[in-house]
Amino acid sequence: MGQREADSDGIEIREAESSDVAGIREVALQSLHASYDDVLGEETVEQAVERWYDDDALGAELDEEGMCYLLAVAGDEVVGFSQSLVLPEDGTATILWLHVDPGNRDKGVGTTLLKQTQAALSERGAEQISAAVLADNEQGCSFYEANGFETVNSRETEIGGETYVENVYGHEGRAKFESREYDGRTLYVNWAESDRGSKAPFYAAYSDEDAQDLFGWFCSNCESFDNAMDSMERLKCNDCGNQKKPARWDAAYL
């Protein structure tokens, strides 16, 4: 994907390069402060950015297979970015983060960036796209809902010793649920609710089609439901060793 003209205001959408690390980090810092200081506190946000967006961590993610970083650029300044993980063999993609600098919000930058991100993920083979936002971030939740994403589920996540609700959103494409037989019962794999794995994604598996009773997780690497999660939410497949990788807030346990 090359550079693309996004709108008449001179916003350009392009893939990130190693030289963009500082700009990405600054946008993440300002965006997270604006969206989550009132919810999580400034210190938690500062620690999160320090861990996720230092030079080594971000450089490794830019080179990670399946990772897609798109930037919204005005002139030479990064004003927004999206970070997504796409698994074309599964037909799925997850938008891990979509940040816009607070000074450039309400100008259509976020919507343009989201649409271009969806197009890029579709080009890479994604049929189902999901995203997650803390429920307390009302602006973020409204943003996805206004852009055609539907609520798939809500789940709890731990941040800094506190429990928060995270809304999971999915976009039309691949069927949301697929029934699978396991140990004499029918389970429903939710393709729109996933967590990153070291070998392949884990998908939430429910005992009912209404996604009220979470049974566990489906390892897409070996198609197994035999997984274990410890008290720190570290998930591991007992059959193939696939392990949950840090993503979003669980990367810090601040």
- What pairs with residue 80 in β-bridges? 72, 100
On whether residue 164 sits in a domain, the answer given is: no
Domain edge (last residue) among 88, 117, 142: 142
Greatest mean pLDDT among 16-30, 107-121, 152-166 lies in 16-30
Domain edge (last residue) among 93, 116, 142: 142
Rounded distance, CA 23 to CA 249, Å? 21
Rounded distance, CA 39 to CA 46, Å? 13
Specify whether 110 is located in the same domain as 184. Answer: no
On whether residue 205 sits in a domain, the answer given is: yes
First to last CA, the chain: 36
Specify whether 24 is located in the same domain as 93. Answer: yes
Rounded distance, CA 55 to CA 9, Å? 31
Secondary structure (3-state) at 178:
strand
Per-residue model confidence as pLDDT tens digits over 81-127: 999 999 888 888 999 999 999 999 988 899 999 988 998 998 898 98
On whether residue 169 sits in a domain, the answer given is: no
Rounded distance, CA 45 to CA 90, Å? 33
How many CB atoms are located within 10 Å of the residue 172 CB? 13
Check: CB of residue 129 under 8 Å from CB of residue 173.
yes
Tell which wins on pLDDT, 245 or 160.
160
Question: 177 is written with which tokens?
Answer: 């649920």
Q: How confident is the model at residue 173 (pLDDT cuts 50, 70, 90)?
A: low
On whether residue 162 sits in a domain, the answer given is: no
On whether residue 148 sits in a domain, the answer given is: no
Per-residue model confidence as pLDDT tens digits over 24-49: 999 999 999 999 999 999 999 998 89
Model pLDDT, residue 1: 45
Q: Nearest to residue 82, comparing CAs of 118, 46, 57?
A: 118
Model pLDDT, residue 8: 35
Specify whether 84 is located in the same domain as 197. Answer: no
Per-residue model confidence as pLDDT tens digits over 181-212: 999 999 998 876 777 778 777 888 999 988 78
On whether residue 12 sits in a domain, the answer given is: yes
Determine the average pLDDT of the residues in 148-155. 89
CATH code of the domain in which 37 resides = 3.40.630.30
Model pLDDT, residue 4: 44
Distance of CA 127 to the CA centre of its chain: 15
Specify whether 122 is located in the same domain as 9. Answer: yes
Amino acid identity, position 164 = Y
Rounded distance, CA 99 to CA 81, Å? 5
Per-residue model confidence as pLDDT tens digits over 52-77: 898 998 988 898 889 999 999 998 89
Q: How many domains does the chain have?
A: 2
Specify whether 120 is located in the same domain as 206. Answer: no
Specify whether 211 is located in the same domain as 105. Answer: no
On whether residue 157 sits in a domain, the answer given is: no
Specify whether 203 is located in the same domain as 94. Answer: no
Determine the average pLDDT of the residues in 75-80. 93
Specify whether 8 is located in the same domain as 126. Answer: yes
Model pLDDT, residue 155: 87
Domain of residue 13, residue span: 4-130+137-142
Specify whether 187 is located in the same domain as 107. Answer: no
Determine the average pLDDT of the residues in 117-145. 92
Question: 22 is written with which tokens?
Answer: 């500082």
Secondary structure (3-state) at 195:
strand
Specify whether 126 is located in the same domain as 12. Answer: yes
Model pLDDT, residue 87: 86
DSSP state of 251: G
Q: How many CA atoms lie within 13 A of 116 on its CB side?
A: 29
Model pLDDT, residue 6: 42
How many CB atoms are located within 10 Å of the residue 251 CB? 15
User: Phi and psi for 143 in degrees, rounded to 5?
Assistant: -60, -50
DSSP state of 173: S
Specify whether 8 is located in the same domain as 72. Answer: yes
DSSP state of 20: G
